[in-house]
Chains A and B, each alone.
Chain A
Amino acid sequence: MWVLLGIAVIVAGFLLRFHPLLVILASAAVTGIAAGLDPLAILAAFGKAFNEARYVSIIWIVLPVVGLLEANGLQERARGLIARMRGATVGQFLAFYMLLRQGLSAVGLTSVAGHPQTVRPLVAPIAEAAAEAQAGGLNEQEREEVKAWAAATDNIGLFFGEDIFLAIGSILLIKGLLEQYGIMLEPLQLSVWAIPTAIAAFLIHGFRLWMLDRRLKRRRAETQP
């Protein structure tokens, strides 16, 4: 039972905001000692596993291409696409943005959009303007709410799009971990199973955005008879 201390260490360490690399090291040490291994054997076991899991860090070889494209205006180009949707309702606009975010993430372009890159300069202001036109004016609280919807839509689009790309960190982590238990899988076998959840995420969030549109429309009917 003492081996469970390692789990306690990782939970407490992340909770108390210690440096994650140190938390992992401490957890490995505690787990190993509890299992009766001597420190050198723990170091060797961790080193061996780290070496075998090297492909988890292979994903970073895409960075030079992303850097090259971003230096040549990839983010600006994406913003151009988003700005074309001016004039839609807030629900339609955010649903379009979510689809774009999921699609870009699914082909590995996670950093093209994001809170500093697109949400703050573009998505939130467009959403706000659209909602204002729909409801015939917004109060302070509603304005905040619409901006929060923009940020939430970005997160959800990213989370449930990126795992479709077959060499994202989480997919390679799964592959690496399963291999430690003797289960060999290809990244593609894992990433296809992110697709059903991606569709469900779009449907659920899209439905909520549609409800938001309806709420704003009802409000207009109430305030302007």
Chain B
Amino acid sequence: MITLHWVYAVAGAMFAAFALLGARDRTHPRRWMNAAFWGLLALSMWAGDRLGDVGNGVLVLGLIGIGALGGLSRGDGVVPAEIRQARADRFGNRLFAIALIIPATALIGTFLFKLAPGWFDGKQATLIALALGVIIAMTVGCLWLRAGAQVPLQQGRRLMDCIGWAAILPQMLASLGAVFALAGVGEAVGGIVQQAIPQGSLIGAVIAYGVGMALFTIVMGNAFAAFPVMTAAIGIPLLIRTYHGDPAIICAIGMLAGFCGTLMTPMAANFNLVPAALLELKDQHGVIKRQVGTALPLLIVNILLIYWLAFP
């Protein structure tokens, strides 16, 4: 039966290829550090289940060490702009067609794989289908665009190096959530928040969750970091366990309430300050000022959507 482990094998192979290509790249200033980082991720994907809990913990410490001590840096290998323009003119919408293979396969597979429960792990159908879509798109792409098999790996490695340590940030935050759950953070915050919200007020709890997501994101500049905190504090104990709301709706829209916060904060420099500099604006908060007018009404919409959709 095809399970998530097959997908981990594919991902592990990709990270291992990035590590090998990185180690062989003599133009790269810190190639060994780069290779070690992606190599550790490959090890995690391939052998995580055999390392034991402490072993995985040590692996994480290694990733944090390399990532935080500035061990990673960018490689190059960008295709010159004139060549890309010439290829764009030649290939046209074929490029979009190849890109669409991935979401189309993921969507179709999510439904189809459930029909063959003996062959596929139905609970992980989407991720299995996603990996299949990537393999199909890569094969079709190489053939249709007449590219060598090493092109996707070399170019993928270039993009991966640009992302660097931030690549493991979501996985790290999900893991932090587990430690929060183990330590009972949710119960502790829930106890405090429940005193602040009028007793038994569902709309009060929903507002606290939505506004809390936006405020925490404004302070930290990152909705991903706010999410484990607010979900442990209000989402799980109040909205899901006490009021029996739909967890998928609460969390999906709760995250988007956090994104409204991202639009309003100079802490999210990548999105708000860097573009202002790039466009040579005199007012470095000029972009944020244009965004607030959309972000605030949208935050209200998100709160109302949670209230209406998650609690039928």
- A interface residues, Cβ below 8 angstroms from B: 1, 3-4, 6-7, 10-11, 14-15, 19-22, 24-25, 27-28, 31-32, 34-35, 37, 40, 42-58, 60-77, 80, 106-109, 111, 115-116, 119-120, 124, 144-145, 147-152, 154-156, 159-160, 163, 165-167, 169-174, 176-178, 180-181, 183-191, 193-194, 196-197, 200-201, 204-205, 208
How would residues 93 to 116 of chain B score, 1 for a CB under 8 Å from any chain A CB and 0 otherwise?
101101110110011001000000
Query: Which residues between 215 and 274 of chain B lie within 8 Å of chain A, taking CB atoms?
Result: 216, 219-225, 227-229, 231, 233, 236, 240, 247-249, 251-253, 255-256, 259, 262-263, 267, 271-272, 274
Are A145 and B172 in contact (CB-based, < 8 A)? no
Across the interface, which residues of B come within 8 angstroms of A55, CB to CB? 4, 7-8, 124, 127
Contact among A4, A7, A46, A68 with B138 in the assembled complex (CB-CB below 8 Å): A68
Q: How many A-B residue pairs have CB under 8 A?
A: 436
CA A173 – CA B309 in complex, angstroms? 21
Across the interface, which residues of A come within 8 angstroms of B53, CB to CB? 44-45, 47-48, 51
Across the interface, which residues of A come within 8 angstroms of B302, CB to CB? 197, 200
| Given A51-B51, A200-B301, 17 extra CB contacts under 8 A | A7-B229, A53-B174, A54-B11, A61-B7, A63-B156, A72-B145, A76-B88, A77-B92, A155-B291, A163-B259, A166-B103, A166-B106, A167-B130, A169-B170, A176-B170, A177-B227, A177-B251
Are B60 and A50 in contact (CB-based, < 8 A)? yes
Are B56 and A32 in contact (CB-based, < 8 A)? no
CA A83 – CA B64 in complex, angstroms? 43
- B interface residues, Cβ below 8 angstroms from A: 4, 7-8, 10-11, 14-15, 41, 44-45, 48-49, 51-61, 63-64, 67-68, 79, 81, 84-93, 95-96, 98-100, 102-103, 106-107, 110, 123-127, 130-131, 134, 137-138, 141-142, 145, 147, 151-160, 163, 165-185, 188-189, 216, 219-225, 227-229, 231, 233, 236, 240, 247-249, 251-253, 255-256, 259, 262-263, 267, 271-272, 274-276, 278-279, 281-283, 286-287, 289-291, 293-294, 297-298, 301-302, 305, 309
Most A Cβ at <10 Å: residue of B84, B102, B180: B180
Are B127 and A187 in contact (CB-based, < 8 A)? yes
Nearest 6 CB-CB pairings of A with B:
A67-B155, A73-B88, A47-B57, A47-B56, A49-B178, A176-B174
Most B Cβ at <10 Å: residue of A49, A109, A144, A190: A49
Name which residue of chain A comes closest to B222, CB basis: A14
Name which residue of chain A comes closest to B125, CB basis: A186
CA A205 – CA B126 in complex, angstroms? 32
Are B84 and A107 in contact (CB-based, < 8 A)? no
CA A107 – CA B98 in complex, angstroms? 11
Are B110 and A173 in contact (CB-based, < 8 A)? no
Are B248 and A185 in contact (CB-based, < 8 A)? yes
CA A21 – CA B84 in complex, angstroms? 36
Are B178 and A46 in contact (CB-based, < 8 A)? yes
Name which residue of chain B comes closest to A184, CB basis: B123
Across the interface, which residues of B come within 8 angstroms of A4, CB to CB? 185, 188-189
CA A181 – CA B15 in complex, angstroms? 29
CA A47 – CA B51 in complex, angstroms? 10
Are B95 and A20 in contact (CB-based, < 8 A)? no
With A43-B58, A51-B48 in contact, is A77–B171 under 8 Å at CB? no
Name which residue of chain A comes closest to B92, CB basis: A77
Ordered by A's residue number, 15 sampled pairs between the chains whose C-beta atoms are within 8 Å are A1-B188, A32-B183, A45-B53, A51-B56, A54-B8, A60-B167, A69-B95, A70-B155, A72-B84, A73-B95, A108-B103, A166-B103, A166-B107, A173-B170, A186-B110
CA A166 – CA B81 in complex, angstroms? 31
Contact among B102, B223, B283 with A170 in the assembled complex (CB-CB below 8 Å): B223
Across the interface, which residues of A come within 8 angstroms of B179, CB to CB? 6, 28, 31-32, 42, 45-46, 49
CA A15 – CA B47 in complex, angstroms? 36
Contact among B8, B79, B184 with A3 in the assembled complex (CB-CB below 8 Å): B184
Are A187 and B126 in contact (CB-based, < 8 A)? yes
Are B59 and A47 in contact (CB-based, < 8 A)? yes
Are A57 and B138 in contact (CB-based, < 8 A)? no
Across the interface, which residues of A come within 8 angstroms of B127, CB to CB? 55, 58, 167, 187
Are A173 and B126 in contact (CB-based, < 8 A)? no
Across the interface, which residues of B come within 8 angstroms of A107, CB to CB? 99-100, 102-103
Name which residue of chain A comes closest to B224, CB basis: A173
Across the interface, which residues of B come within 8 angstroms of A51, CB to CB? 44, 48-49, 51, 53, 56
Contact among B131, B157, B177, B182 with A58 in the assembled complex (CB-CB below 8 Å): B131
